[in-house]
Amino acid sequence: MELDRVIVSEDEIKARVAELGAQITRDYAGKELFVVCILKGASIFMADLVRQIKIPVQIDFMSLSSYGKSTQTSGVVRMLRDLDQEIAGKDVLVVEDIIDTGLTLSYLKENLLARKPASLRFCTFLDKPSRRKVAFQPDYSGMAIEDYFVVGYGLDYQEKYRELPFIGVVKSVD
């Protein structure tokens, strides 16, 4: 696999994460935020983001899958790891790496709302609105991108390339 080009540089990522952190800090001023990181892809973004949020933060993790080892979603969402903590009455922010079809986060939204959080919002670093199969709009979005298969900054292809400090477009994968 080769990279075709870089579409988001390391400096652009840092600047946008700082902006998102500042906006989230303003929106949740005076509150404590419960951040749910969607593993594995969002872990790098979440770590950078919470360092930019200037209010108390608790962190927990979930793992969901609709891709397996493919570059195309199967449409079937599986929960691989659930939260360790209860979210009832908490202000919850779900942090995701990328929103594609919207199926995974629509499923997750219904699941988490049933747990009665005080509030529930979603933050993604990348958004591919052209790929939506269900209506889903994140509350916070780093940036919208075209329908490319991308890696880097937590995003992978078969568990590789997460460590890249930028986001790049893959030339050809399947």
CA-CA-CA-CA dihedral for 63, 106, 44, 125, to nearest 10: 170
pLDDT digits (tens, 9 = 90+) for 2-32: 889 999 999 999 999 999 999 999 999 999 9
CA-CA-CA-CA dihedral for 135, 140, 142, 147, to nearest 10: 0
Half-sphere exposure of 117 (CA within 13 A, CB side): 21
Catalytic residues, by residue number, are: 100
127 token code pair: 């958004």
pLDDT digits (tens, 9 = 90+) for 117-142: 999 999 999 999 999 999 999 999 99
The domain segmentation of the chain, as residue ranges, is: 11-149
The three-class DSSP label of residue 151 is strand
CATH topology of domain 11-149: Rossmann fold (3.40.50)
Distance CA(92)–CA(80), nearest Å, equals 20
Distance CA(87)–CA(85), nearest Å, equals 6
Distance CA(75)–CA(104), nearest Å, equals 8
50 token code pair: 């919470």
Half-sphere exposure of 167 (CA within 13 A, CB side): 25
pLDDT digits (tens, 9 = 90+) for 56-112: 999 999 999 775 555 555 567 889 999 999 999 999 999 999 999 999 899 999 999
